[in-house]
C-alpha cells in the first residue's frame, strides 16, 4: 500500500503543514508584539472619548447661546462632523505614507487646536470662530474612527472584528465620563472666568493633548492596510481607482452604505437631542445622562457585535443594526416631549444600532476588498459617512425647528432604506454564486 504521505492529498497536507510551520513564528510574533499596540490604542481611545464627548454634549448649546437661534445649534454640530469628513482622506493618505500612529497623532493635535479656538470664540462671542474651532474639533472623531482599522491591522488572524470592537469599547469609559463632566466643567469654567458652556472643553483640551503625545511618542503600527499574516502590501492604488474597483463588488458597496447610513442616522438624531431637552427645560445634568446612555449603547456592546461579526458574519450583524435603528427611530418619533425614560431608551437603542452597523460594515469592508485598495477606500468611506452626517446634522436643526423631535426621527427612518436595498442586492449576488 502506498504511503499516504506520497498521495496528492497527502502532498497537499504536507505543503500546508510546511507553510503553517513557516508561518508559526510570524503568528507567535504577532501575538507577542501585537498586544502592546492594541493596549495603546485602547488607552488612546479612552482619552479621546473623554475629549470628544465632553465637547459634543454642549457644542450645540454654546452655538445657540452665541447666535440666539436653534438652527445655528445644528450648524455647529454640522461643522464638527464636516471637519471629521474633510480630514478623513488626508489622514488615510498620511497613514499610507508614514503609518497609522502618525495619522492618529495628527488628528488629535488638530482637535486640540479646535478646542483652543472654542475658548477664543466664547471669549469674543464670535460664532464664525466657533464654527471653525468645532470643525477642527471634529478631527478627533476622524482619528478615533480610523483607530478601528488600526485595531484590525495589529490583530491576530480571525480576530479582526473582535479587536476592532474592543478598541471601540474602550471609548465607552471615556465617552460616558465626558458628558457627565459637563456640569463640573461648567462650574470650573465659571470659576476661571470662562463662559460656563465652554468649560467642558477644558477636559477636551487635556484629553487631546495626552492622546497626541501617546500616539506620537509610543504607538507603533504595521504598514497601513496590512492585516496579520498578510504579505507586505503592494503600492496602494489612488482613491478614484480604489472606489471604481469597490463599486463593482456588491458586498463592498453594501459595507460602505451600511457605514454611511448608520452614522448618518445616529448623528442626525443625537446632535439634536441636547437641544430638544434644553427646550423642554431639562438640566445640563440630565442632558449628560441621556448622552451617556446613548454612548453606552454605541460602545458598550461593541465586543458582542465584534464576536457576532467573526462568528456569524458581518452582513448579518448589519441587518441586526437595521432592525435596532428602526426601533429606536419609532420610539423617538412617538414619545412625549418630556419623557425622560423613553428618550433614554430611544437614544440607547440608537447607539446600539450604530454599533452593529459600524462594526458589521467595517468588518465586511476590511474582509471584502483587496489589500492595495483597503486604506484609500477606508478613508473615502469615513469621509463619505462624515459628510453625509454633516448634512444630516444641518437638516436636523431645521427639522427640529419645524416639526420637533418626531420629525427628526421620521426622516431618520428613511435613511434605513438604502441599507435594506443594497443588503438584499448583496445577498442576491451571493445566492447566484
**Model confidence at 309: pLDDT above 60:** yes
**Model confidence at 78: pLDDT above 90:** no
8 Å CB contact between 365 and 297:
no
**Model confidence at 12: pLDDT above 90:** no
**Model confidence at 280: pLDDT above 60:** yes
Residue 229's pLDDT band, with cuts at 50, 70 and 90, is: low
pLDDT, position 71: 66
**Model confidence at 341: pLDDT above 80:** yes
Domains and CATH numbers, the chain: 32-227+235-431 (1.20.1250.20)
Mean pLDDT calculated for residue range 215-231: 74
243-272 pLDDT, tens digit each: 899 999 999 999 999 999 999 999 999 988
146-198 pLDDT, tens digit each: 888 888 877 777 777 888 888 878 776 766 666 667 778 778 888 888 888 88
pLDDT, position 233: 59
Q: Is 404 left (phi over 0), alpha (psi -120 to 50) or beta?
A: left
Q: What is the dihedral of CA 275, 142, 349, 390, to 10 degrees?
A: 50
DSSP string, 360-425: HHHHHHHHHS-HHHHHHHHHHHHHHHHHHHHHHHHHHHHHHHHHHHHHHHHHHHHTHHHHHHHHHH
**Model confidence at 385: pLDDT above 50:** yes
**Model confidence at 274: pLDDT above 80:** yes
pLDDT, position 33: 46
Closest listed residue to residue 245, CA positions, set 384, 135, 111, 371: 371
For residues 55 and 22, the model is more confident at 55
pLDDT, position 175: 66
How many separate helices (H) and strands (E) can be counted in the chain? 17, 0
Mean pLDDT calculated for residue range 271-290: 82
8 Å CB contact between 218 and 39:
no
122-155 pLDDT, tens digit each: 888 888 999 999 999 999 988 988 888 888 877 7
Mean pLDDT calculated for residue range 406-428: 95
pTM for the predicted model, two decimal places: 0.75
Closest listed residue to residue 324, CA positions, set 303, 294, 354: 354
Q: Provide the 3-class DSSP secondary structure of residue 7.
A: coil
34-77 pLDDT, tens digit each: 577 888 888 888 888 888 877 776 777 888 888 877 667 767 77
pLDDT, position 28: 35
Mean pLDDT calculated for residue range 376-397: 86
Amino acid at each position: 500500500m502506498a504511503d499516504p504521505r506520497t498521495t496528492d492529498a497527502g502532498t497537499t497536507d504536507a505543503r500546508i503543514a510546511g507553510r503553517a510551520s513557516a508561518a508559526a513564528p510570524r503568528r507567535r510574533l504577532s501575538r507577542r508584539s501585537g498586544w502592546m499596540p492594541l493596549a495603546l490604542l485602547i488607552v488612546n481611545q479612552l482619552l479621546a472619548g473623554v475629549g470628544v464627548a465632553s465637547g459634543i454634549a454642549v457644542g450645540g448649546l454654546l452655538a445657540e447661546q452665541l447666535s440666539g437661534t436653534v438652527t445655528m445649534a445644528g450648524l455647529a454640530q454640522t461643522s464638527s462632523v464636516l471637519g471629521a469628513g474633510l480630514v478623513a482622506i488626508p489622514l488615510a493618505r498620511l497613514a499610507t505614507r508614514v503609518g497609522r500612529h502618525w495619522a492618529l497623532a495628527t488628528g488629535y493635535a488638530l482637535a486640540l487646536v479646535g478646542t483652543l479656538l472654542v475658548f477664543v470664540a466664547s471669549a469674543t462671542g464670535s460664532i464664525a470662530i466657533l464654527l471653525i474651532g468645532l470643525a477642527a474639533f471634529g478631527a478627533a472623531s476622524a482619528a478615533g474612527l480610523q483607530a478601528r482599522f488600526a485595531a484590525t491591522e495589529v490583530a491576530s488572524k480571525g480576530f479582526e472584528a473582535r479587536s476592532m470592537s474592543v478598541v471601540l469599547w474602550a471609548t465607552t469609559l471615556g465617552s460616558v465620563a465626558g458628558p457627565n463632566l459637563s456640569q463640573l466643567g461648567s462650574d470650573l469654567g465659571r470659576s476661571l472666568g470662562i463662559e460656563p458652556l465652554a468649560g467642558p472643553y477644558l477636559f477636551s483640551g487635556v484629553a487631546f493633548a495626552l492622546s497626541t503625545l501617546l500616539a506620537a511618542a509610543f504607538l507603533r503600527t504595521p504598514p497601513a492596510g496590512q492585516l496579520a499574516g498578510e504579505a507586505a502590501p503592494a503600492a496602494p492604488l489612488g482613491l478614484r481607482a480604489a472606489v471604481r474597483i469597490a463599486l463593482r463588488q456588491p458586498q463592498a458597496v453594501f459595507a460602505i452604505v451600511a457605514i454611511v447610513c448608520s452614522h448618518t442616522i445616529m448623528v442626525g438624531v443625537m446632535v439634536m437631542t441636547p437641544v430638544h431637552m434644553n427646550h423642554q427645560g431639562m438640566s445640563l445634568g440630565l442632558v449628560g445622562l441621556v448622552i451617556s446612555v446613548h454612548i453606552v449603547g454605541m460602545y458598550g456592546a461593541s465586543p458582542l457585535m465584534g464576536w457576532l461579526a467573526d462568528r456569524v458574519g458581518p452582513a448579518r450583524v448589519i441587518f441586526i443594526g437595521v432592525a435596532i435603528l428602526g426601533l429606536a427611530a419609532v420610539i423617538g418619533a412617538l414619545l412625549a416631549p418630556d419623557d425622560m425614560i423613553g428618550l433614554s431608551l430611544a437614544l440607547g437603542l440608537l447607539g446600539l444600532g450604530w454599533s452593529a452597523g459600524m462594526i458589521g460594515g467595517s468588518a465586511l469592508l476590511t474582509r471584502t476588498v483587496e489589500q492595495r485598495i483597503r486604506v484609500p477606500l477606508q478613508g473615502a468611506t469615513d469621509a463619505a459617512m462624515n459628510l453625509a452626517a454633516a448634512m444630516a446634522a444641518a437638516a436636523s436643526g431645521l427639522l427640529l425647528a419645524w416639526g420637533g423631535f418626531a420629525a427628526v426621527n421620521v426622516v431618520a427612518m428613511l435613511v434605513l432604506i438604502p441599507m435594506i436595498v443594497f443588503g438584499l442586492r448583496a445577498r442576491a449576488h451571493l445566492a447566484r454564486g
